């Protein structure tokens, strides 16, 4: 994706998160809340759940994984999908993309630390979900779980890049 697409996507996520601050969420979520529940996270913030006009992200769809959670939860998955998923890209490009996404989101130091500390574990959780949840027949057949595990083991150390200062 172009830098413009990455930046506009991260800014759209920030606007969405900011709009949900203070929302009092009851039960009924497909997944339980993750504390501290700062915002309503989308839960699957990726290119395939965004509408684009050219290189500009203009809308978000598919909220079935939404839940109260900390901001880092969506930012981490955005960093993964927009910057780190292509393991064939040079590491410097992956890290630049991760920083670009976080900078465009205007991520706080706590959000950046949450991304750096939790992204690999989140990918392992996704692999386990694909392996255990009967709804993920297609994803198991396509070996998404294998991909998530490989990516989790290859996630670069993001602390120096994202947690500067």
Separation of alpha carbons 93 and 95, rounded Å: 5
Q: What is the pLDDT of residue 25?
A: 66
CB 102 within 8 A of CB 112: yes
User: Per-residue pLDDT tens for 13-59?
Assistant: 999 999 999 886 677 888 888 999 999 999 999 999 999 999 999 99
Q: What is the pLDDT of residue 150?
A: 93
pLDDT at 165 over 80: no
Q: What is the pLDDT of residue 149?
A: 95
Domain that holds residue 58: 3-162
The total of other beta-carbon atoms located within 10 Å of residue 162's CB is 24
Domain count, the chain: 1
How many helical (H) and strand (E) elements, i.e. helices and strands, does the chain have? 7, 4
User: Per-residue pLDDT tens for 90-136?
Assistant: 999 999 999 999 999 999 999 999 999 999 999 999 999 999 999 99
Provide the whole-model pTM: 0.95
26-49 burial code (b ≥16 CB/10 A, e <16)? eeebeeeebeebbbbbbbbbeeeb
55-80 burial code (b ≥16 CB/10 A, e <16)? eebeebeeeebbbbbbbbbbbbbbbb
User: Per-residue pLDDT tens for 44-99?
Assistant: 999 999 999 999 999 999 999 999 999 999 999 999 999 999 989 999 999 999 99
Q: What is the pLDDT of residue 157?
A: 87
Counting Cβ atoms within 10 Å, is residue 103 exposed (0-12), middle (13-18) or buried (19+)? middle
Q: What is the pLDDT of residue 65?
A: 92
Q: What is the pLDDT of residue 92?
A: 94
Instruction: At 54, give phi and psi (nearest 5°).
Output: 65, -125
Identify the CATH number of the domain in which residue 86 sits.
3.90.1200.10
């Amino acid at each position: 994706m172009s830098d413009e697409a990455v930046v506009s996507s991260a800014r759209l996520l920030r606007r969405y998160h900011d709009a949900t601050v203070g929302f009092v969420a009851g039960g009924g979520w497909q997944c339980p809340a993750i504390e501290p529940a700062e915002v309503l996270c989308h839960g699957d913030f990726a290119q395939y759940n965004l509408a684009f006009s050219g290189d500009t992200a203009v809308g978000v769809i598919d909220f079935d994984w939404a839940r109260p959670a900390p901001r880092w939860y969506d930012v981490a998955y955005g960093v993964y999908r927009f910057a780190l998923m292509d393991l064939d890209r040079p590491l410097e490009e992956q890290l630049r993309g991760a920083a670009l996404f976080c900078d465009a989101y205007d991520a706080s130091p706590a959000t950046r630390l949450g991304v750096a500390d939790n992204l690999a574990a989140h990918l392992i959780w996704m692999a386990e979900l694909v392996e255990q949840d009967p709804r993920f027949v297609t994803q198991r057949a396509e070996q998404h779980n294998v991909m998530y595990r490989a990516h989790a083991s290859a996630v670069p150390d993001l602390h120096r890049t994202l947690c500067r200062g």
